[in-house]
């Protein structure tokens, strides 16, 4: 085999069907040599199945308590290509995705990302969950230098990423890494037509719990070193979050003019999901993150 041109980290925390779709898409990449690195916390049986079905993939076991940021760190350490990319186990990339990431970095970019579109279209719950979480990454997006990039459709020049090992080791989400890079003058580049499909199926209860867990982990990490009065104040301020998030999400989708026929039936669920997020932040500020991050999928 030729040396890989791009290593793609895939934290595996959901179902086998999910990760099969992601790995099949990576195996079908054109004009780019891809090293797929799956970091899983599911167990030995799932590892054995994947090893049989995708023998070219590198599969790494991690503890069931591992968080997704920790799993990404594990994958980063194993990657051997000059470009390291990250997706999720339920993200389906187009067949020219790796080549376009490679070309953008060859042209001088250090960090490249693109928009996210919904591919879980069977149920209204799936639509509501996607619109709640991904309205900011939904196309159209402006191309060029950006203040942010999504963490599940992103590629880094490896020698740049390696400089931020201490930041990665903090075990936080990609926004912490990207903020540290931008503070050092590293440019984040958004390619507006490098769109991946997000294919994640939910029940109402599952997504409610995921919003709560993610928000609690975020808030707990944010105030970990803060004094108690500050934590209490942050918690009280979070009571207004659901209304703010609800209005911002709806306004953003309406402005984009996309999926409006799916937005209106989603409004009651969006209200519930933003309330779940607000509750998670309040608990995280007042009582800490607990083990919430290790349960985020």
- pTM for the model stands at 0.96
Per-residue pLDDT of the chain (297 residues; tens, 9 = 90+): 579 999 999 999 999 999 999 999 999 999 999 999 999 999 999 999 999 999 999 999 999 999 999 999 999 999 999 999 999 999 999 999 999 999 999 999 999 999 999 999 999 999 999 999 999 999 999 999 999 999 999 999 999 999 999 999 999 999 999 999 999 999 999 999 999 999 999 999 999 999 999 999 999 999 999 999 999 999 999 999 999 999 999 999 999 999 999 999 999 999 999 999 999 999 999 999 999 999 999
Q: Which two tokens stand for residue 285?
A: 């500020």
Q: Where in the chain are the domains?
A: 6-198, 204-295
- The residues that bridge with 197 in the sheet, in sequence order, are 92, 117
Burial 260-289 (b: 16+ CB within 10 A, else e): eebbeebeebbbbbbbbbbbbbbbbbbebb
In 3D, which of 214, 205, 208, 215 has the Cα closest to residue 282? 215
Q: Tokens standing for 183?
A: 């503070």
Is the link from the previous residue into 140 a cis peptide, with omega within 30 of 0? yes
Classified by CATH at the fold level, domain 6-198 comes out as Spore Coat Polysaccharide Biosynthesis Protein SpsA; Chain A (3.90.550)
């Amino acid at each position: 085999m030729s040396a890989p041109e791009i290593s793609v980290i895939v934290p595996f925390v959901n179902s086998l069907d999910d990760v099969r779709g992601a790995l099949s898409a990576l195996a079908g990449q054109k004009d780019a040599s891809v090293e797929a690195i799956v970091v899983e916390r599911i167990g030995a049986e799932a590892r054995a199945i994947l090893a049989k079905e995708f023998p070219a993939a590198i599969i790494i076991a991690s503890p069931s308590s591992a968080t997704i940021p920790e799993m990404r760190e594990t994958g980063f350490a194993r990657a051997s290509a000059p470009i390291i990319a990250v997706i999720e186990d339920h993200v389906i990339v187009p067949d020219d995705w790796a080549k376009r990431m490679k070309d953008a970095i060859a042209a001088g970019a250090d960090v490249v990302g693109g928009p996210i579109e919904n591919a879980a279209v069977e149920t209204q719950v799936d639509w509501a969950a996607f619109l709640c979480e991904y309205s900011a990454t939904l196309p159209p997006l402006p191309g060029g230098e950006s203040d942010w990039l999504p963490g599940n459709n992103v590629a880094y020049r490896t020698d740049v990423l390696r400089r931020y090992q201490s930041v990665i080791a903090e075990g936080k989400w990609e926004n912490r890494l990207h903020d540290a890079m931008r503070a050092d003058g590293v440019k984040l580049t958004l390619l507006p037509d490098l769109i991946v499909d997000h294919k994640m199926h939910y029940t109402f209860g599952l997504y409610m719990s995921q919003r709560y867990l993610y928000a609690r982990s975020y808030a707990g990490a944010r105030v970990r070193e803060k004094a108690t009065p500050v934590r209490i104040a942050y918690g009280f301020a979070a009571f207004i979050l659901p209304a703010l998030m609800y209005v911002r999400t709806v306004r953003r989708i309406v402005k984009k003019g996309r999926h409006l026929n799916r937005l209106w039936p989603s409004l009651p669920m969006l209200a519930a999901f933003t309330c779940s997020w607000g509750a998670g932040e309040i608990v995280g500020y007042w009582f800490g993150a607990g083990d919430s991050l290790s349960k985020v999928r």
